[in-house]
């Protein structure tokens, strides 16, 4: 692991800081990866240097969603077979994608040595991005919580079905009480329209406001859209494939909303500093402006 003095020296030498957004959900099947991927493409389409990290380390599918065929992934980085620059594949609008692997149980619970290898690899990235979007696994595992805790902003995806709302609430409760995360940005997905999305958000907000000491903010709504389903079937980002569709417009609005979020006051530097916090061996609350 990087010692504190080394981290401070590296941080001082970095020409820019990377803003980190973790996209997560209480359960699978709510469109989390689609949200993370299209949000990343929407930011990249605005001319920003964006990297998308597939942090669902055991069941990764960002590369599948975008129709990419990476030669290497994070498992090769851990094994010393490739560096990060060789692993990165280019997606729409110049988006840089860091793929993980699927169906490899050894990636789910990484030992300390493997965590250190990932941190060191990202320290050697030739060009640090302006924005890093992290597509976490679904659920409330410690690994998901750590990635979310270490990010500057936590984005929770929810859709209008009882299990999704219940599991989103459970995630917010666990992450706030056990990991010290107090601010969550909510994206409502697969709704009829913006008003429907607002009502869905209010359902979650009412129960969280009653029982939890957290701040929730509704930052975007992605409606049901046949063009989005078509883009998934074509293994393309809807923002790139059908830019005039309702869902593509929603993702551009979401990119605008995330772009306006305040920069973190305490956590800065390149990607390795985010990973140092996310993959640290000791759990500790992270104090940030969200």
Instruction: Walk me through the domains of the chain, giving residue ranges and CATH numbers.
Output: 17-56+132-278 (3.40.50.300)
Q: What's the pTM?
A: 0.87
State the virtual CA torsion across 259, 182, 221, 192 in degrees, nearest 10: 180
- Per this entry, what is the length of the chain? 290
3-class secondary structure, 230: helix
pLDDT at 267: 47
Q: Could you tell me if 217 and 186 are in contact, meaning their C-beta atoms sit under 8 angstroms apart?
A: yes
Alpha-carbon separation of residue 101 from 61, 171, 213, 277, 290 (angstroms): 8, 24, 36, 22, 30
Vertex 49, ends 128 and 102: CA angle to 5°? 80
pLDDT at 265: 52
pLDDT at 14: 47
Check residue 191 and report its DSSP letter.
E
Q: What is the pLDDT along the chain (290 residues), one digit of tens a residue?
A: 455 555 554 544 544 688 999 999 999 999 999 999 999 999 999 999 999 999 887 788 999 999 999 999 888 888 889 888 999 999 999 999 999 887 665 556 666 677 777 777 777 788 889 999 999 999 998 888 988 998 999 999 999 999 999 999 999 999 999 999 999 999 999 999 999 999 999 999 999 999 999 999 999 999 999 999 999 999 999 999 999 999 999 999 999 999 999 876 544 566 777 777 777 654 444 434 44
């Amino acid at each position: 692991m990087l010692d504190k003095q080394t981290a401070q020296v590296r941080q001082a030498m970095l020409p820019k800081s990377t803003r980190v957004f973790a996209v997560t959900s209480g359960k699978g099947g709510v469109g989390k990866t689609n949200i993370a991927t299209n949000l990343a493409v929407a930011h990249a389409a605005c001319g920003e240097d964006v990297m998308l990290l597939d942090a669902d380390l055991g069941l990764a599918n960002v590369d599948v969603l975008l129709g990419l065929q990476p030669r290497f992934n994070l498992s090769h980085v851990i094994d010393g077979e490739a560096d990060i620059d060789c692993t990165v594949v280019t997606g729409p609008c110049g988006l840089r994608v860091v793929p993980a692997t699927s169906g490899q149980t050894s990636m789910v619970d990484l030992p300390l040595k493997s965590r250190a290898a990932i941190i060191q690899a990202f320290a050697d990235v030739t060009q640090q991005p302006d924005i890093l979007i992290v597509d976490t696994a679904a659920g409330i595992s410690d690994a998901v919580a750590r990635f979310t805790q270490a990010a500057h902003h936590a984005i929770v995806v929810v859709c209008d079905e009882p299990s999704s709302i219940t599991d989103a609430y459970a995630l917010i409760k666990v992450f706030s009480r056990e990991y010290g995360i107090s601010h969550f940005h909510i994206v409502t997905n697969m709704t009829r329209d913006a008003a429907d999305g607002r009502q869905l958000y209010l359902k979650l907000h009412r129960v969280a406001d009653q029982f939890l000491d957290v701040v929730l903010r509704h930052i975007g709504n992605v409606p049901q859209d046949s063009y989005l389903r078509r883009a998934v079937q074509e293994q393309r980002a809807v923002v790139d494939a059908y830019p005039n569709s309702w869902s593509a417009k929603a993702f551009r609005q979401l990119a605008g909303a995330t772009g306006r979020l305040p920069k973190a006051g305490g956590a800065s530097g390149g990607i390795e500093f985010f990973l140092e916090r996310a993959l640290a061996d000791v759990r500790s609350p992270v104090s940030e402006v969200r």
